[in-house]
Chains A and B, each alone.
Chain A
Amino acid sequence: MKPGFLCWSVPFFLCALSAPALAEDAPAGANLEAGGLKPPDAVQSDQTAPPPSPTEANLDRADKEDSGRGLEFVWLNGEVGAETLGLQTFKANNLVDAKLVNSKQTGIMYGAGVGVRLLVFTLGARFRLGNFSDWDLWTLNGEFGLHIPLGRVEPYFNLGAGYASLGSFDSKNIGSNLSSAGLGAKGLDVRGAFGVDVYLTDTFTVGGNLSGDLLVLSRSGKSVAAGATTGTAEQQAAANVYAKDGSSVGAGATLSAVLGLHF
């Protein structure tokens, strides 16, 4: 016998085997006529139909009443927290002049995210702005998440990557000319995060998030016009540093409080 024939015949063979059982389960109220054929009368009547089991009743109730619970398609959240960041943690190649600019700082972070959710997977975009005393850093990342719903509490893991931009250097450190020349760096940000959301209502959550960032930044040389460099001798020396290209690999960690809406 050919395997192909076997494949095609299996479902029909099983159908034939189960036909009597199906006929026994035919509903009493069914009165379907098609093509001039009338199905046989049902064996069981409504009065003798067994009552639904508790599990079936629960499922039925879930479908009818609770179909919206825990179902989400869109989420958005806002966050604020503390971020500590080292611009040159793993590699330093003149991204900033370490004598004048503190490359390792702690500041306030503001952020917002929006995205979609399918079952326990989320996909979205997140903007974060880190406000530090010597410089600012903003990131715009794509984000993928896995959520583990445990009743009202929902831990989750996120992975994301995107664009990072470093700028707004304090003119007191680098001099007004470099500052006004728009000294800055850009590059890649890779982020991993763990967080917990607590559902206060079906749509509103509060939670916390701990994330780690890996920053790969680079900048092109920024020279100011000869004679225009004013300020201290250190600032003039810094101007020479920033005249050349620079790059770095840094790292950061952020702890934030998150408010979220889920629809």
Chain B
Amino acid sequence: MIVVEALLGFAFPLALAFLVWRRVSVLGRVSRRLTLIMALTGAIGAALCAYFERLVLTWTGLSFDVATSGASGALLATFLLAAPLEEACKVGVVWPLYRTRRIDGPRLGVCYASAAGAGFAAIEAVVQISSGGATRLTLLRALVSAPAHLFFAGAWGYALGLRGRERRHWFSWAWLVATLLHGLYDHIVWGRGPGLLVTVMPLLVFMGLGAWVALRDVAPSAVHAHHSLIPEPPSLQSMRNALRPVDHQVLVRWIVIGAFVTFGLVLVLLALTIVLGNRFGVDFSLADESDMRSSGPLILLGVAVLLAFPVAGFLVAKASAAHSVLEPALAAGLALAALVAMLFVTAPVGVLFALAVAPLAFGLACGGAWIGLER
């Protein structure tokens, strides 16, 4: 059984990398040899990282698992050791290609970085499954963890590919944000109980949508645009244009009002969900970090929170007769910051939940505002 689980955990990220490679090859073949070398080197890097992490964890007595070293210890181990070390290792794998000018654009940056991420995830899965007692939970965690390795590596790989083309360099910021989000993701997946695994769902959806948009941007497919039933996502350029302030003016008044509207709507929808849930017999006290079957209340509350953002974005854009998504987007950011601050004081574990929801919520707010724009 352990062999089957290890094989599954090994093959899944590589299959995802193959899909990425095939998608970016529509504009011309991407070197299969270099992609394979990236995956292989990423795998070697994962083995070295696993060894080094184990060494440091043994020495410090820390663990990625909250049950072993407490929340603060697990957070320290994840954010200060695992996340930066692993992302830095993947950068180290891809960097020689960048230095030798083999990455001439975001298309190759995404492909090679995600291949390195896939190789890394494949070995990480094997290590975790073989050392974690080969439980089904470890397999699930490995499977959920794989897309994050590809996505976050792909994100800074995209920025790395842009370095030669644009005057402003985003690589450092992309790497930092990818590292922080990957740390958050890893902490929930590997450090928390199985009942909290559902809280990575918004991040999973965000990564899926982000990959869809980015792959369309780096490798637009004319065939896909004309023959697919699924609508094409907006391009990154059109998103940048939508976020640009009209006449270089930012309407601070609408940002503050928008933040109040968003925060208020979040509270109203949460209250409504609890009232309706109670009416239909949903026990919200059921939520238990150690039991996957009790994650329903978290899903209901998460849906309520997420629903508030596109509605608020739409309302703010309509009310302000906006020509730019910038104000509703900043308002959503401000509301999210307020939500995190409030949870930090009242229920610290909720901060994780809010941060996991934040990227998707922000994207949905922008989407709602975009629909409500004056045209």
Contact = CB atoms under 8 A, between A and B. Distances in A.
Given A66-B194, A119-B200, 4 more contacts: A22-B76, A68-B137, A69-B291, A70-B194
Contacts of B239: none
Pairs of residues from A and B, 7 with the lowest C-beta to C-beta distance, nearest first: A62-B290, A70-B292, A27-B61, A59-B67, A4-B172, A150-B296, A70-B293
Looking at chain A, what size class is its interface with the partner chain? 35 or more
A14 B80 contact: yes
B58 A32 contact: yes
Contacts of A203: none
B145 to A, nearest CB: 12
Contacts of B62: 22, 25
A11 B193 contact: no
A154 B293 CA distance: 8
B242 interface: no
B363 interface: no
A150 B297 contact: yes
A51 interface: no
Q: Which of A4, A42, A66, A119 has the most CB of B within 10 A?
A: A119
B201 A119 contact: yes
A71 B194 contact: yes
B180 to A, nearest CB: 9
Contacts of B200: 119
Interface in A1-45: 3-4, 6-8, 10-11, 14-15, 18, 21-23, 25-27, 30, 32, 34, 39, 42
A99 interface: no
Contacts, number: 144
A186 B61 CA distance: 64
A119 B193 contact: no
A180 interface: no
A228 interface: no
Given A4-B171, A150-B296, A59 B80 contact: no
14 contacts: A4-B169, A4-B172, A14-B79, A25-B62, A32-B59, A52-B67, A59-B290, A62-B67, A68-B137, A69-B292, A70-B194, A70-B291, A71-B292, A120-B295
A233 interface: no
A60 B136 CA distance: 16
Given A62-B194, A120-B295, A154-B296, A32 B179 contact: no
Interface stretch (B249-257, B259-267, B281-289, B316-324): B281-289
B67 A63 contact: yes
Contacts of A73: 136, 139-140
